[in-house]
Structure 1
Amino acid sequence: MNSHLLFDFSVNEENKIIHIEREFDARLELVWEAWTTAKLLDQWCAPNPYRTETKTLDFREGGFWHYAIVSPEGKKHWSRYDYKEIELQKSITELRGFSDENGMVNPDFPRTECTLIFSETDGKTHISMTEKYGSPEMFEKMATVSHKKGFSSHLKNLDDLLLTLKSK
C-alpha cells in the first residue's frame, strides 16, 4: 500500500458504528468494478492468508452476494450481503450477515448495515464506509485492532490487484 494514501479506522462506541476511510491510487471505474464483480472480489476480499470464494453475486438492488471466506485449511465461513440501495459508481448500502452454505442468514446474529460512498479526485478513488452494528456483541468483536489489521490486509490486496489491472 502506498503509505501516502488515506486509511482511517474510527470507532464510535456510543452508536456501535465503525467508520473507515480509504483511498486507492486508481480511477473510480476500476475500483467500482473490483468491488462489484465476483471474479475480482475473489482476488482481494479476504485478509491474508485467507481467500474469498463467491457462490452467488447478483449486484442489483434486491440482489445479494453470498460468499465464503476460506481458511488455508479449507474451512469455509459463509456470509451474505443483501443490497438495499445502489447508485452506480457512487454508493452501496447493504445488510451484512453470517449465513450457511445455502445463503440462509443466521438469525442469532443481527445484521450489520454498511454504507459505502465512492468518489474520485485527481485519479484517486476515495471510499467512505460506515458500518452500523445490530448487535453489541458483534460490534465489540469488530471494534478491535485485530479487525483493523485484517481489514487493512484485504484492502492491501485490493491495492495490489488494482496495480495489476491498471497495467493491462
Structure 2
Amino acid sequence: MSVKSIDKDYDTLTITALAEFEAAPERVWELWADPRKLEGWWGPPTYPATVREHSLVPGGSVTYFMTGPDGQTYHGWWAVQQVDAPRKLSFRDGFADQDGTRRDDMPVTEVTVTLTARDGGTAAEIVTSFADRTQMDELISMGAVEGAAEAMSQMDAILASA
C-alpha cells in the first residue's frame, strides 16, 4: 500500500496523509484530473463514488455522490481554488443534499494536494484543514480518517491498470 501515514494534528487543525507511488507525478495527477479514475478511489471500497460534474480549473467545481452498501447516497462537492498540474491542487470540500444543494450545517474543509517527483516515483501529501476543533472532531467521529485510508488504498490498483 502506498499510504505511509495519516496523522491528526489538533494544534494546526489538520489531517495529513502521506503516500508514495511508483509512478510519475503526471500519472498520479490523473487520479484527481480524470473523473473516471477519481471514481475508482474517492470513496472507500464499500462507498463507491460517482462523479457528476468535474471542472478541475480554478473557480471550477466537482460534484459527486457515494453509494453505501444499503443503496443510500451521500452527496458532496469541491470548489476548486488552485490547479498547478501535475504538482498542486487545492479545493474546498463539503457535503450536499440529495439534490446537490450545499449543506451549511456540515463542515467544509480545505484540501491541498502536493505531488513531488522522488526516486523515480511520486511523493504525495494531502492536507485537510478544518475551521475549528468542533468540525475536525465531527468528521473524525464520522470515520473520515479510516475512510480516507480505505479510499487511498485503492490508488495503486488504478495506477497499475493505466
TM-score by length of 1: 0.87
Counterpart residue number, 2:80? 83
The answer to whether structure 1 residue 24 and structure 2 residue 21 are counterparts is yes
Query: What stretches of structure 1 of length at least 5 have no aligned partner?
Result: none
Which string of whole-angstrom CA distances, capped at 9 and with x for unpartnered residues, describes residues 10-57 of structure 1? 111123211111111211111111221111111222112110011111
- State the partner residue of 1:161: 158
Q: Does 1:15 align with 2:6?
A: no
Is 1:40 matched with 2:67?
no
What residue is the counterpart of 1:120 in the other structure? 117
Pick closer, same or farther for the CA change 1:31–1:110 going to 2, 3 Å: same
Which residue identity does 1:70 align to in structure 2? T
Please give the alpha-carbon distance, in whole angstroms, between the structure 1 residues aligned to 2:117 and 2:149: 20
How has the CA–CA distance of structure 1 residues 58 and 111 changed in structure 2, closer, same or farther, with 3 Å as cutoff?
Answer: same
CA contact (8 A) 1:111 1:135 kept: no
2:144 aligns with 147
How much is the aligned-residue C-alpha RMSD, in angstroms? Answer: 1.9
Residue 70 (structure 1) aligns with: 67
| In structure 2, C-alpha distance between the alignment counterparts of 1:75 and 1:67, rounded to whole Å | 14
Distance between the aligned counterparts of 2:83 and 2:60, measured in 1? 10
Determine the structure 1 residue equivalent to 2:48. Answer: 51
User: Is the contact made by 2:48 and 2:67 (CA closer than 8 Å) also made in structure 1?
Assistant: yes
| Separation of aligned partners in 1, 2:135 and 2:57 | 27
Question: What is the CA–CA distance in structure 2 between the aligned matches of 1:64 and 1:89, rounded to whole Å?
Answer: 18
C-alpha distance in 2 between matches for 1:33 and 1:23: 15
Counterparts of 1:141 and 1:74, CA distance in 2? 23
Contact 1:112-1:132 within 8 A present in 2 as well: yes
Q: 2 CA distance for matches of 1:90 and 1:12?
A: 24
Question: Is the contact made by 1:45 and 1:158 (CA closer than 8 Å) also made in structure 2?
Answer: no
- The count of corresponding residues between Structure 1 and Structure 2 is 162
Q: Name structure 2 gaps, 5 residues minimum.
A: none
Quick one: structure 1 residues 98 and 145, their matched pair in 2 at CA, closer, same or farther if it must change by over 3 Å?
closer
Amino acid at match of 1:68: F
Counterparts in 2 of 1:28 and 1:104: CA distance versus 1, 3 Å: same
